């Protein structure tokens, strides 16, 4: 049996609107491999010349000759049926990293517009499928065989079905001009010398080989330009013929890409003065003007439903996939594992409270202390109450802003903002009207702007704020690329939520968010505060002097007069919602990031809650309890006196994040799982929780139902190994000697020992119960990164061939030496010795020399089942190698989440909520739509069933051989 806490998956970043797909698939491997991130680049943009083949075109007397491209106008090894198979292969890879909007009504409207456009084209076997996806980019893109994807952000900035028709017509133009088939034909011939394809399995194998060859190619073929013109010409034609305004596509392009109506001319083109967006706008305008005025005259699309549909798209949440599961056994974890709260705030009037975690915002009343409702807010930046306490506002890194009623679950406003320049960091005004955006000009200088959220118009701008240093520049770049919710710049809101003080380095600006103006500051605010700061109410500011903490203090706002000198030796301080007449702040650099309530008058900590999220409103404190509940109590003013009654409130389920560790008992009865902050143990016969535990980094069971946990450091309790007996339900802290080289990883306790004289490292595997050494292995190099295969049987090492350990292994094994001899460049990093060690005995259990695929995800992407080694890639592909021959057997889409060593069966995850089971030969045995992202999976009953935990905290056991009937072949043999 095996287990896995699934790796993070980072969303795709794509090129501009209307371009054929060029995706950069990035994965963040948050487990243990030293190579934290790798990018796999998929470039697919060679150019085509516009070909109008009248012999294959249907003409409309009112619209002229249709610009249809014949399949044989360029070299093409694909029939229309094979194009659809090619598109399915591409979709299997791409859709693993998109979040579909599952509301059928919203997708139906887009499909209806596409169907109207298709009715103007000649009959074809290719079927167009339009899917609305949740993305913060204004984009639409297409794949071979009829797949079109439109982002919610694009829909949000569209103003009519005419504009949507222009976008969809362009993507249909890419598909119906067979550009994908032409491109793939050329690439397969150039890189693989392929001259024909057959069935879907053959296309899958050759497509995977082509991707590998593209990534290895020293001189990739990149040509771009003509195919966009071609798609525009077809798009303008079909949109107009269907009755949509021909100018709408150009208007949309002009507005969304801030072209400003500039189109240039041929003379400017000659001197390179026309920008590509301007040239393309000119082309679209000319195409529309060239069509006869009678074209589309009798067709009048019904626009009456656009406004209601558009509003529904803005308000709709992404939703979950449809479930298709016949579970043998199903339980819901009760109570569920609560996510860590990152924020708790009172409203300015003290009547309401909000609590926020990674994916939810909970809204509560204070008297009575009760839950009002939950907002789905995955990836949201910190939420705030409006100054009048009547609403809650928040934004996302993608510049979506939402405003909700504080009393009832009602969305008051939602905006998808569109900016000329990207926001590297942003703050939403608590009233929801203004977004403060940090931008960067071409010289690398930062600017600060206030934008109106309803219109995205700039209402105030400080064009040159300051030039960031390299550290800040890197932080800004990281935040931008990965959509981080962690703020880059220091900032603080006043208690009335009308003022924002934001700082970059020593450059601080005070903004009046109500009047959208700058507030002049002076005195110590400008010169005395060089570190963290926070408002104390609305007219005072606490600030830290980083160079001399003893000269920190309380300053009047905005003139910066020193009201009180203090010694503030903290790295971070935060405001409370309402300190009353006190000088109260939150301090976050206590042990393990717990937050404390500090009284700056007495310089004491008053918090009685050992929590990570805390707030105060004039003596009333709200914070998170150890079990994830929200606690509310009244502070009496004396930390030694009995406090007021404490109330607690259990929050509803919030989707489970990526787990830090998870393990199931051998008999399948118990499950232990942990996020970074807290963990728990459940009895899966009932789903009931047995223990609530603070966070652990690894878990393992023995055959006697004894659980071992690597417990994280928490407060005064250091990191340690804990033992929990299921018979006695007692927990024991084992007295092991643990240092930085001691690791409990993948259910095994290992330790590295350095022999300074011999300059060798020895890996020791310890017995979990006794801490005794079971076996050891010495390496004449440094200590190496390694993994444990799913199934908890093998340890897998990966050595570069130039490493001494690898050289010695090649000398001792003629077969490995022969495999290595076939590799010309022994110094290349992707040529590796993969060695499998029996985890129980330390004996060699096989090795292979292989050139790792270009998309290799690192050592944690390795798994072994029998003679096969699975090598995970960063672009949703997994290669399968023979351990005995070193040859690549096949590739499959998805990443391995569970493995059964006995049968060689694997379970993979791919699209959101999708689980698939394959046998040792790569045949698909079962295919399940779980409805929610997978968080843990393990085989049971000698590989005949799989138990899966999903983000909705349901645990289901399903058959490994009897899932939904497969609709496609998803694994393919290698050439």
Per residue in 423-482, pLDDT tens?
999 999 999 999 999 999 888 899 999 999 999 999 999 999 988 888 888 888 888 877
Torsion of the alpha carbons at 864, 867, 872 and 877, rounded to the nearest 10? -140
Q: Which two tokens stand for residue 344?
A: 């708790």
Rounded Cα–Cα distance for residues 614 and 632 (Å): 10
Place of tokens 């077809």: 234
Q: Are 491 and 529 in contact (CB under 8 A)?
A: no
Residue 735's pLDDT is 83
Rounded Cα–Cα distance for residues 387 and 498 (Å): 7
Most confident of 294-298, 411-415, 484-488, 798-802: 411-415
Question: 643-680 burial by CB neighbour count: b if 16+ within 10 A, else e?
Answer: eeeebebebebbbbbbbbbbbbbeebebbbbbbbbbbb
Place of tokens 């150019």: 47
Rounded Cα–Cα distance for residues 430 and 129 (Å): 40
Q: Are 349 and 366 in contact (CB under 8 A)?
A: no
Rounded Cα–Cα distance for residues 820 and 803 (Å): 13
What does the longest C-alpha to C-alpha distance in the chain come to? Answer: 93
pLDDT bucket at 21, cuts 50 / 70 / 90: very low
Rounded Cα–Cα distance for residues 783 and 753 (Å): 9
Upper half-sphere CA count for residue 90 (Cβ side, 13 Å): 26
pLDDT bucket at 45, cuts 50 / 70 / 90: very low
Element (DSSP H or E) covering residue 155? helix 152-157
Q: For the purposes of burial, counting CB atoms within 10 Å of the CB of 843, is it exposed (0-12), middle (13-18) or buried (19 or more)?
A: exposed
Rounded Cα–Cα distance for residues 509 and 530 (Å): 14
Residue 16's pLDDT is 32
Residue 735 CB partners (closer than 8 Å, separation 6+)? none
Task: Look at 591 and 720; give whichever has higher pLDDT.
Answer: 720
Q: Which range (225-229, 322-326, 351-355, 660-664) has the least confidence?
A: 322-326
Residue closest to 608 by CA, chosen among 638, 581, 566 = 638
pLDDT bucket at 718, cuts 50 / 70 / 90: confident
Residue 13's pLDDT is 25
Q: Which two tokens stand for residue 227?
A: 């195919």
Place of tokens 């009393």: 407
Q: Which two tokens stand for residue 13?
A: 């970043």
Q: Is 375 helix (H, G, I), strand (E, B) or coil?
A: strand
User: How far, in whole angstroms, is CA 863 from its chain's centroid?
Assistant: 24
What's the pLDDT tens digit per position in 113-154? Answer: 999 999 998 888 999 999 999 988 999 999 999 999 999 999
CA distances 565 to 115, 332, 551, 573, 599, Å, are: 71, 55, 6, 16, 14
DSSP E strands: which ranges in 812-912? Answer: 831-838, 844-851, 862-865, 868-872, 877-882, 888-893, 895-899, 906-909
Most confident of 187-196, 860-869, 962-971: 187-196
pTM for this predicted structure: 0.86
β partners of residue 631:
623, 648
Q: Which two tokens stand for residue 325?
A: 């599961």
pLDDT over threshold 50, residue 730: yes
Residue 50's pLDDT is 33
pLDDT over threshold 50, residue 538: yes
Residue 86 CB partners (closer than 8 Å, separation 6+)? 78, 144, 145, 180, 181, 184, 203, 207
pLDDT bucket at 214, cuts 50 / 70 / 90: confident
pLDDT bucket at 520, cuts 50 / 70 / 90: very high
Angle made by CA atoms 206, 210, 213, in degrees to the nearest 5: 135
């Amino acid at each position: 049996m095996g287990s896995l806490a699934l790796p993070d998956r980072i969303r795709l970043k794509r090129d501009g609107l209307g371009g054929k797909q060029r995706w950069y698939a990035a994965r963040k491997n948050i487990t243990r491999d030293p190579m934290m991130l790798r990018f796999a680049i998929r470039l697919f943009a060679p150019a085509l010349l516009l070909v109008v083949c009248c012999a294959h075109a249907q003409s409309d007397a009112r619209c002229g000759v249709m610009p249809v491209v014949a399949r044989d106008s360029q070299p093409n090894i694909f029939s229309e049926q094979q194009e659809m198979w090619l598109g399915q292969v591409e979709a299997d890879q791409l859709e693993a990293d998109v979040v579909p909007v599952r509301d059928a009504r919203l997708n139906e409207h887009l499909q209806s517009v596409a169907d109207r456009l298709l009715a103007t084209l000649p009959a074809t076997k290719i079927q167009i499928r339009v899917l609305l996806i949740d993305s913060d980019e204004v984009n639409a893109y297409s794949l071979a065989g009829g797949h079109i994807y439109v982002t919610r952000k694009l829909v949000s900035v569209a103003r009519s079905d005419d504009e949507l028709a222009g976008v969809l017509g362009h993507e249909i133009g890419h598909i119906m001009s067979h550009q994908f088939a032409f491109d793939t034909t050329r690439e397969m011939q150039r890189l693989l010398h392929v001259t024909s394809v057959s069935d879907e399995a053959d296309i899958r194998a050759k497509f995977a080989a082509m991707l590998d060859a593209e990534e290895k190619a020293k001189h990739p073929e990149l040509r771009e330009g003509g195919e966009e013109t071609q798609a525009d010409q077809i798009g303008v034609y079909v949109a107009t013929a269907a009755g949509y305004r021909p100018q709408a596509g150009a208007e949309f392009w002009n507005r969304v890409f801030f072209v400003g109506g500039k189109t240039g001319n041929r003379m400017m083109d000659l001197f390179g003065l026309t920008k590509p967006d301007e040239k393309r706008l000119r082309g679209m305008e000319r195409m529309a003007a060239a069509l006869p005025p009678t074209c589309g005259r009798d067709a009048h699309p019904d626009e009456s439903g656009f406004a209601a549909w558009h509003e529904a798209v803005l308000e709709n949440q992404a939703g979950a996939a449809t479930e298709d599961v016949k579970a043998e056994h199903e339980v819901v974890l009760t109570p569920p594992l609560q996510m860590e709260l990152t924020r708790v705030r009172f409203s300015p009037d003290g009547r309401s409270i909000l609590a926020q975690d990674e994916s939810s915002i909970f809204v509560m009343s204070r008297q009575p202390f009760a839950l009002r409702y939950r907002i789905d807010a995955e990836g949201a930046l910190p939420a705030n109450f409006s100054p009048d306490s009547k609403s809650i506002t928040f934004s996302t890194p993608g510049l979506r802003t939402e405003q909700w009623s504080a009393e009832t679950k009602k969305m008051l406003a939602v905006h998808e903002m569109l900016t000329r320049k990207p926001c590297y960091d942003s703050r939403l005004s608590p009233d929801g009207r203004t977004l403060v955006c940090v931008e960067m000009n071409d010289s690398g200088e930062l600017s600060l702007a206030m934008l109106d959220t309803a219109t995205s118009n700039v209402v105030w701008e400080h064009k040159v704020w300051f030039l960031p240093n390299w550290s800040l520049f890197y932080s800004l770049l990281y935040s931008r690329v990965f959509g981080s919710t962690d703020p880059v710049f220091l900032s603080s809101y006043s208690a009335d939520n009308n003022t924002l003080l934001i700082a970059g380095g020593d450059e601080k600006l005070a903004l009046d968010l109500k009047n959208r103006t700058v507030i002049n500051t002076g005195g110590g605010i400008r010169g005395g505060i060089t570190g963290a700061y926070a408002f104390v109410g609305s007219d005072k500011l606490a600030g830290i002097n980083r160079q001399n903490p003893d000269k920190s203090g309380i300053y009047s706002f905005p003139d910066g007069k020193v009201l009180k000198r203090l010694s503030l030796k903290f790295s971070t301080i935060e405001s409370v919602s309402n300190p009353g007449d006190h000088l109260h702040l939150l301090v976050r650099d206590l042990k393990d990031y717990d937050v404390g309530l500090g009284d700056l008058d007495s310089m004491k900590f008053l918090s009685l809650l050992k929590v990570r999220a805390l707030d105060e409103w004039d003596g009333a404190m709200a914070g998170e309890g150890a079990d994830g509940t929200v606690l509310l109590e009244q502070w009496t003013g004396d930390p030694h006196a009995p406090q007021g009654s404490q109330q607690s409130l259990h929050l509803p389920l919030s989707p489970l994040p990526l787990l830090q560790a998870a393990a199931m008992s051998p008999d399948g009865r118990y499950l232990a799982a942990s996020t970074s902050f807290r963990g728990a143990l459940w009895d899966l016969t009932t789903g009931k929780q047995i223990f609530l535990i603070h966070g652990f980094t690894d878990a393992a069971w023995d055959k006697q139902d004894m659980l071992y946990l690597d417990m994280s450091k928490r407060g005064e309790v250091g990191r340690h190994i804990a033992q929990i007996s299921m018979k006695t339900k007692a927990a024991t802290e084992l007295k092991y000697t643990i240092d930085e080289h001691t690791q409990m990883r993948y259910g095994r306790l290992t330790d590295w020992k350095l022999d300074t004289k011999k300059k060798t490292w020895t890996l020791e595997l310890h017995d979990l119960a006794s801490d005794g050494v079971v076996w050891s292995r010495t390496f004449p190099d440094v200590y190496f990164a390694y993994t444990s295969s799913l199934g908890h049987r093998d340890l897998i090492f990966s050595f570069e061939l130039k490493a001494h350990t690898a050289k010695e292994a090649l000398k001792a094994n003629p077969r490995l030496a022969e495999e290595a001899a076939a590799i010309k460049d022994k110094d290349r990093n992707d040529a590796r010795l993969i060695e499998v060690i029996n985890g129980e005995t330390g004996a060699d259990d096989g090795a292979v020399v292989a050139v790792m695929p270009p998309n290799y995800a690192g050592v944690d992407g390795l798994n072994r089942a029998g003679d096969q080694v699975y090598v995970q890639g960063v672009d949703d592909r997994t290669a399968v190698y023979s351990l005995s021959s070193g040859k690549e057997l096949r590739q499959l889409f998805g990443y391995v989440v569970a493995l059964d060593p006995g049968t060689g069966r694997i379970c993979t995850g791919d699209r959101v909520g999708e689980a698939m089971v394959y046998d040792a030969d790569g045949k698909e045995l079962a295919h399940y739509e779980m409805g929610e992202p997978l968080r843990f999976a393990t085989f049971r009953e000698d590989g005949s069933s799989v138990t899966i935990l999903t983000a909705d905290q349901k645990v289901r056991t399903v058959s490994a051989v009897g899932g939904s009937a497969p609709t496609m072949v998803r694994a393919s043999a290698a050439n």
